[in-house]
Amino acid sequence: MVVTKEFRESYYALTKFLLFSVFFVSTAKAAVLPEERLDTLYHSYSGGGVTIDGPSILVRKNIGNNVSLSANYYVDMISGASIDVQATASRYTEQRDEFSVGADYLVDKATMSLSYTNSSENDYQAETVGFGISQDFFGDLSTLSLRATYGSDDVMRNGDEDFLGHAEHRRYSLGWSQILTTKLIAELSVETVADEGFLNNPYRSVRYLDPSSALGFSYQAELYPTTRNSDAVALRAKYRLPYRAAVKTEYRRYADSWGIQSDNLEFRYTHPLESENLILEGKLRFYKQKGADFYSDLFPYVDATNFRARDKELSDFTSTAIGFGATYLVPDRWALFDRKNTLNLYWDYVLFDYENFHDVRVHNGGDSVLPGDEPAYNFNAHVVRAYWSMWF
């Protein structure tokens, strides 16, 4: 059965971004070990005809005053049929399992970290190793952090035992955070990524004009460059309001060698209700992207260009997300094992609007629409993360 790996595209990237922003990202600051805790999570994504959900568990434990160890198990269970599957293939169900371990070592005002991640599914295997270091300066008002990761992926194709692709990914990041006042913290980060090897989806197709076809178009396999270099810069700031609430803003600019450029702007508001043991959060996010140079919704003829793609995540599109969240501190009389316990629930609603990716499903209904005149595609998605945390 021909399937497409949608979870490695917009909504998978979105889901992971949202999950890590509230759950998996270490709470450690430079020169401070992460807190010892246990997190159990259920995550769910639903949108565009696809459902992705599953559990995850994260454990952090310190050894003495200088070493912190962590382990994480994360599952994606994917089912449904995206617009691409509805046009060219059948519904599918599959599962991805991810295991990761990490260690942080504290030396005076520096923290060094190591990590390893293994991701496995029936036609994709990925391994990633990472190293990072952060250092406090100027009376602990400034923190410089560096991180490098290397990933190695093997790409298979169901139904084709002779197919095997390989890709490598190198990522380098540099960050500087600064306490500007007693109420304001700012951070500047830059990141560069080098990808090499088989970088496209082995199942995905592009379409081209074909007068001999009853639909007026036919399909052929995508063909991507074997290298991709990308750079991103982000500026973040967090300000504490007089009544203990906080606002956070972020702007991120991205560009790569494929011609993709994007801008991301996000606002967050956090409001604690101490009398209720409750913290409330609201979020608004805007994203705009210019597509890849070799993307086209409809090519003029077969083999029209050296490289070709019809992946909607390489097209021109915008997305808007609104989110709400709550963290509840469980009273001592109800807390498990007499430890600090919190219950956390986050929900995001995301709207995707594609400017030059058309909805070819109109042809399935027999509508007499000329190729290229189909309506632009859009959809919305719901992302839910619910988890329980316990501190040791």
Domain segments of the chain: what residues?
6-391
- Give residue 6's pLDDT band: very low, low, confident or very high (50, 70, 90): very low
Q: Identify whether the C-beta of residue 377 lies closer than 8 Å to the C-beta of residue 356.
A: no
Give the pLDDT of residue 41.
95
Could you read off the pLDDT of 301-325 as tens digits, one per residue? 999 999 999 999 999 999 999 999 9
Mean pLDDT of the chain: 90
Homologous superfamily of 6-391: monomeric porin ompg (2.40.160.40)
**How far are the Cα atoms of 206, 362, 372 from residue 366, in angstroms, in the given order?**
21, 7, 15
Residue 9 has pLDDT above 60, yes or no: no
HEC letters along 141-173: CEEEEEEEEEEEEEEEECCEEEEEEEEEEEEEE
Decide if pLDDT at 4 tops 60: no
3-state secondary structure of 12: helix
Instruction: Tell me the average pLDDT across 189-204.
Output: 95
Question: The pTM is what?
Answer: 0.89
pLDDT in tens, 337-388: 888 999 999 999 999 999 999 999 888 766 678 999 999 999 999 999 999 9
Question: How far is residue 134's CA from residue 111's CA, in Å, rounded to a whole number?
Answer: 5
